[in-house]
Amino acid sequence: FPDLETNSDLNSDDFEYEDEAKLVIFPDHLEISLPNIEELPALVTIACDAFLSAKSPYRKQDPDSWEKELQASKHAKTLVQLDNGVRIPPSGWKCSKCDLRENLWLNLTDGSVLCGKWFFDGSGGNGHAVEHYKETGYPLAVKLGTITPDGADVYSFDEEEPVLDPHIAKHLAHFGIDMLQMQVMENGLRDNDIKPRVSEWEVIQEAGMKLKPMYGPGYTGMKNLGNSCYLSAVMQAIFSIPEFQRAYVGNLPRIFDYSPLDPTQDFNTQMAKLGHGLLSGQYSKPPTKSELIEQVMKEEHKPQHNGISPRMFKAFISKGHPEFSSNRQQDAQEFFLHLINLVERNPVGSENPSDVFRFLVEERTQCCQSRKVRYTERVDYIMQLPVAMEAATNKDELIAYELKRREAEAARKPPPELVRAKIPFSACLQAFSEPSNVEDFWSSALQAKSAGVKTSRFASFPEYLVVQIKKFTFGLDWIPKKLDVSVDMPDFLDINHLRARGLQPGEEELPDVAPPIIIPDDPKGI
């Protein structure tokens, strides 16, 4: 065993490690070396063997080890696609047999966009995709919204299970979805993006500046697992909030006392453990004097990479989630909402720490023909703001940059230094408050569809407002693009003008009448 009393770096190459397993019996601390078949009962031996052979979160970090392996569909190679001229737009889909806009599936034979099956909790769809298969026999469909350069979710109605489609790029291209081009553009953007991103990183890290490292409680870093920057960013922000500190770190002894037999599968235990690691200061300590002297003698002053490795936390919180359990980079906003969902499903004491993000949005919808209005409220945790590109304050610089970029591209020369659009945050905020058209609005005053306009306001304000700038968009060619912009963030934000006012004098409410129910021809297909 290495001497734990020394101040040397145990991760250096100067040590040799020996692993020795022992069974310790408390409270007498009796140690029995393993394996020991002679002295131990059979059940204890089996339990010890199971424990020693279990994979650690480090070994289990590859999610493919537990995900079900999909098989290629027998229909993929011979799938016949109709030459009917159907082209699928990158957004604005709805079921061709009803008005649903969620859980939509694209049939890969004829290009029909139809809703999925109904679920017991009331979500899902009306089963029109299944009905269409029963009527036509067209076997494969891809779920809209899941198409990425890495693949898509494909379902075989004939085989009654999710499948792989090795020819998915060709099948999607038939309907104008250029998946192969998306992959090429993804690689091209990655290659062209290296230098600007390195420069950005140097600015963030204040390269060239002599900075004093910070250590102690609240200054603990999280090691990057290769694709976990989104998780680290969210969890560092979460545990900087007193309500989360009290709920998990403050209640750590009680949480550990009531932890189940398998604490690796308990959300509150994992949150308390991670929060303690970030806030205790035990994993953020300055190098000792002897370590600094050793570094000077070796002439290799390297920064101390203290911090915690969130492998067990990531393994638990991403288990069963199709995106977070993969090795792909993820979106911090989506992970934040996933985390809030788990916090609310696993209460710890009487306090719900996620309430600090919770606010009510008042939505005012007006029928343009009758001028009557309807007020509704919904719960939200994030304020999503669009990027107001038209409000850029450096348009002349952008035009000049675009001309230089095209000239360099035509002459096959290196591109000029990047110029980003500078967008005032106030312009994004104004875009949030602008009225928007409501598609397929059913007016209860007219008992028919009509044009509708919706505006959103804050019915209540959260203690901490989470703001997302929506920088990702889709072009007409289905290529996902990230808007390369710089949004000027204010030091102080006043959104009192977005406070909801409720029904105003002179306004007349729309009648509280539900739209007519559309009954499918075949109720069994729902």
Q: Are 180 and 169 a contacting pair, CB within 8 Å?
A: yes
d(CA 113, CA 71): 24
Ranges of residues in the chain whose predicted pLDDT is under 70: 1-17, 55-69, 118-124, 180-210, 295-305, 322, 325-329, 473-481, 517-526
d(CA 363, CA 365): 6
Which residues, listed in sequence order, are joined to residue 177 by a DSSP beta bridge?
A: none
pLDDT of amino acid 408: 85
Can you read off the two tokens belonging to residue 250? 């403050």
Place of tokens 């000077």: 296
pLDDT of amino acid 61: 52
pLDDT of amino acid 116: 86
Is the backbone of residue 232 left (phi > 0), alpha (psi -120 to 50) or beta? alpha
Which residues, listed in sequence order, are joined to residue 249 by a DSSP beta bridge?
A: none
Q: N- to C-terminal Cα distance for the chain? A: 64
pLDDT of amino acid 411: 84
d(CA 478, CA 88): 9
pLDDT of amino acid 464: 96
Place of tokens 């075949």: 522
Where b means 16+ CB within 10 Å and e means fewer, 214-223 reads: ebeeeebebe
Output the pTM of the full model: 0.63
d(CA 221, CA 423): 31
d(CA 364, CA 377): 9
- Domains of the chain, earliest start first: 1-54 (no CATH), 215-354 (3.90.70.10), 357-498 (3.90.70.10)
Q: Are 136 and 114 a contacting pair, CB within 8 Å?
A: no
Q: Over 362-391, what HEC string results?
A: EEEEEECCCCCEEEEEEEECCEEEECCHHH
d(CA 336, CA 238): 9
Query: Reduced to 3 states, what is the DSSP secondary structure of residue 269?
Result: helix
Smallest CA-to-CA distance from 308 within 219, 211, 213, 201 is with 219
pLDDT of amino acid 237: 96
What angle do helix axes 229-238 and 267-279 make, rounded to 10 degrees? 80
pLDDT of amino acid 476: 57
pLDDT of amino acid 194: 43
Which residues, listed in sequence order, are joined to residue 481 by a DSSP beta bridge?
A: 473
Is the Cα dihedral 90, 91, 92, 95 positive or negative? positive
> Nearest 5°: CA angle at 162, between 160 and 164?
125
pLDDT of amino acid 18: 76
